[in-house]
């Protein structure tokens, strides 16, 4: 099972949520511990003061000053939960019997360290004890040992443990509420931080999309320091691809131009002297010429980016329609054009003529009576649709129709390169060609290009 999200934003949010939650839990325990120590310190001060008064009732011989003890007893009100005991070798007094202290007594939190008193010799510092009484009432106590000539006297003053826990419980509700509010504020701050911190990546993505569509040539260097190495590598890759593409385009163009002249001469010679009575050789020459034009068109398209001019669609389409109307004057086809005057697309003008010219030529060849050309921009995409009312292409054969040199209709005089040239030019410019059935029958060829 994959626990870590694939999204970078999700990973950062998960880590931040875990760290914030852990920090808040630690903070809650730490604050609770500090609060407990603060409350216990206050109770210990009161208990230590009581121990000091109780110690003043113990005489040096181990006996207890009963008169003084009676005067101090009102400080330990009955049923208050506050208890005391004085146990010396010679006397035992207390608000509670010794056998009522049952259950385990926790060891002192620090060893009993003795210091020499000014008048009474060695006196132990008060040490803490926690335990419970026979009625299961939990208590917190302070114990002190007073040396006498008869032996050590043990003094104990205790308070109900509830006095420690009650204020802690009372403080926990607002404390947890405050921590919950703090957690919500930190969560909001984390989301804002992620939004601001990941903005450069989104801007880099848009820049790369602009490079791919030809609006920009390179990725700007004004990136955050952490993204500068990536920016340099991307620009180096773009430069390398541009150099390799230019080299490949040059070789293909040279080869294509080198072959076009001999092919033109061969076509002329075939027309003379009845050398090709049935036109078979001329068809092969035309097929070779179509293949050369196909690869020459691919070489001309700049797939690695580079700034391309904005070409107005309406004049380009109207010019192609006018030219094809004259070429196919023998066909009773009517063309309608619906293109906004201000609509344009970023593409080389020659590539646009090659792309749309092949689609319109195919449409004119197979249309029965009409061709409709529509173009619109939506969501950053320019869609150019060319629909005819001809026989169309079955759905299971449309992919094959866009393969170079594939002809589905051997009767017509095409060479099978028109759709493949249009598809590859569209893809090399960051778009695509879609073939579908037109409304009312026929074929609709839709070209999608980045706006």
CB 313 within 8 A of CB 283: no
Distances (CA, A) of 276 to 292, 319, 414: 22, 35, 19
* pLDDT beyond 90 at 336: yes
Place of tokens 């443990």: 161
> Is it true that 8-167 and 309-450 share their CATH fold?
no
DSSP class of 438 = P
Place of tokens 């070409």: 311
**Where does 263-380 show beta strands of DSSP type E?**
310-312, 334-339, 344-346, 370-378
Calpha distance 82→98 (Å, rounded): 14
> What pLDDT does 111 receive?
41
Greater confidence (411 vs 238) lies with 238
Secondary-structure class of domain 8-167 per CATH: alpha beta
Residue 411 backbone dihedrals phi, psi, to 5 degrees: -80, -40
3-class SS of residue 83: strand
Greater confidence (310 vs 126) lies with 126
Greater confidence (400 vs 250) lies with 400
Of 95-99, 101-105, 275-279, 398-402, highest mean pLDDT = 398-402
Q: Where are the domains of the chain?
A: 8-167, 210-307, 309-450
Place of tokens 């920090």: 23
Report the number of secondary-structure helices (H) and strands (E) in the chain: 10, 15
Greater confidence (88 vs 451) lies with 88
**Beta-sheet pairing, 122-124 with 114-116:** antiparallel
Residue 406 — pLDDT band, cuts 50, 70, 90? very low
* pLDDT beyond 60 at 108: no
Residue 140 backbone dihedrals phi, psi, to 5 degrees: -120, 130
* pLDDT beyond 90 at 131: no
Calpha distance 365→390 (Å, rounded): 9
By the 10 Å C-beta count (0-12 exposed, 13-18 middle, 19+ buried), 175 is classed as middle
Q: What is the largest CA-CA distance in the chain?
A: 152
What element of type H or E holds 356? helix 349-366
Greater confidence (161 vs 215) lies with 161
Calpha distance 126→53 (Å, rounded): 13
| Cα-based torsion angle of the residue sequence 194, 197, 201, 203 in order, rounded to the nearest 10 degrees | 110
* pLDDT beyond 50 at 130: yes
* pLDDT beyond 90 at 387: yes
CB under 8 Å to 234, separation ≥6 — which residues?
Answer: 208, 219
pLDDT digit string (tens) for 350-379?
788 888 988 999 899 889 999 999 999 988
CB 163 within 8 A of CB 176: no
Secondary-structure class of domain 309-450 per CATH: alpha beta
Calpha distance 342→294 (Å, rounded): 30
The β-bridge partners of 447 are 384, 433
CB under 8 Å to 398, separation ≥6 — which residues?
Answer: 435
**Where does 95-181 show beta strands of DSSP type E?**
101-102, 114-116, 122-124, 127-133, 138-146, 153-160
* pLDDT beyond 50 at 118: no
Residue 421 backbone dihedrals phi, psi, to 5 degrees: -65, -45
pLDDT digit string (tens) for 24-47?
888 888 888 888 888 889 999 989
Residue 407 — pLDDT band, cuts 50, 70, 90? very low
* pLDDT beyond 70 at 301: no
Calpha distance 297→280 (Å, rounded): 26
Residue 415 — pLDDT band, cuts 50, 70, 90? very low
Average pLDDT over residues 147-162: 89
* pLDDT beyond 80 at 214: no
Other C-beta atoms within 10 Å of 100: how many? 14
């Amino acid at each position: 099972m994959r626990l870590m999200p694939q999204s970078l934003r999700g990973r950062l949010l998960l880590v931040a949520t875990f760290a914030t939650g852990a920090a808040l839990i630690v903070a809650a325990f730490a604050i609770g511990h500090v609060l407990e120590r603060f409350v216990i310190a206050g109770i210990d001060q009161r208990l230590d003061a009581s121990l000091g008064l109780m110690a003043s009732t113990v005489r040096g011989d181990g006996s207890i000053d009963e008169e003084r003890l009676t005067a101090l007893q009102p400080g330990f009100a009955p049923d208050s939960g506050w208890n005391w005991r004085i146990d010396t070798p010679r006397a035992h007094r207390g608000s509670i019997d010794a056998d009522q202290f049952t259950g385990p007594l926790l060891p002192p939190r620090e060893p009993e360290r003795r210091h020499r008193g000014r008048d009474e010799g060695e006196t132990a510092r008060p040490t803490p004890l926690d335990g419970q009484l026979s009625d299961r009432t939990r208590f917190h106590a302070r114990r002190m040992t007073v040396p006498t000539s008869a032996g050590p006297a043990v003094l104990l003053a205790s308070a109900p443990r509830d006095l420690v826990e009650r204020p802690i419980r009372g403080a926990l509700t607002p404390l947890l509420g405050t921590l919950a509010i703090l957690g919500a504020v930190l969560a909001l701050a984390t989301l804002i931080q992620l939004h601001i911190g990941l903005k450069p990546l989104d801007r880099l993505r848009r820049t790369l999309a602009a490079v791919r569509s030809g609006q920009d040539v390179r990725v700007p260097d004004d990136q955050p320091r952490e993204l500068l190495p990536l920016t340099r590598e991307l620009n180096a890759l773009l430069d390398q691809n541009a150099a390799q593409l230019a080299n490949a385009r040059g070789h293909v163009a040279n080869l294509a131009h080198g072959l076009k002249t001999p092919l033109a001469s061969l076509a002329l010679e075939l027309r003379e002297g009845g050398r090709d009575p049935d036109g078979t050789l001329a068809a092969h020459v035309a097929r070779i010429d179509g293949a050369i034009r196909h690869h020459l068109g691919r070489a001309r398209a700049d797939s690695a980016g580079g700034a391309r001019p904005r070409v107005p669609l309406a004049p380009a389409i109207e010019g192609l329609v006018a030219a094809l109307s004259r070429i196919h004057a023998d066909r009773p086809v009517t063309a309608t054009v619906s293109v906004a005057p201000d609509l344009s697309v970023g593409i080389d003008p020659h590539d646009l003529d090659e792309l749309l010219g092949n689609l319109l030529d195919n449409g004119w060849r197979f249309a029965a009576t009409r061709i409709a050309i529509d173009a619109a921009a939506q969501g950053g995409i320019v869609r150019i649709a060319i629909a005819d009312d001809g026989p169309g292409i079955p759905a299971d054969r449309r992919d094959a129709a866009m393969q170079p040199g594939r002809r589905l209709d051997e009767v017509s005089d095409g060479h099978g390169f028109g759709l493949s040239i249009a598809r590859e030019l569209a893809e090399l410019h960051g778009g695509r060609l879609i073939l579908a059935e037109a409304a009312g029958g026929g074929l609709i060829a839709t070209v999608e290009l980045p706006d």
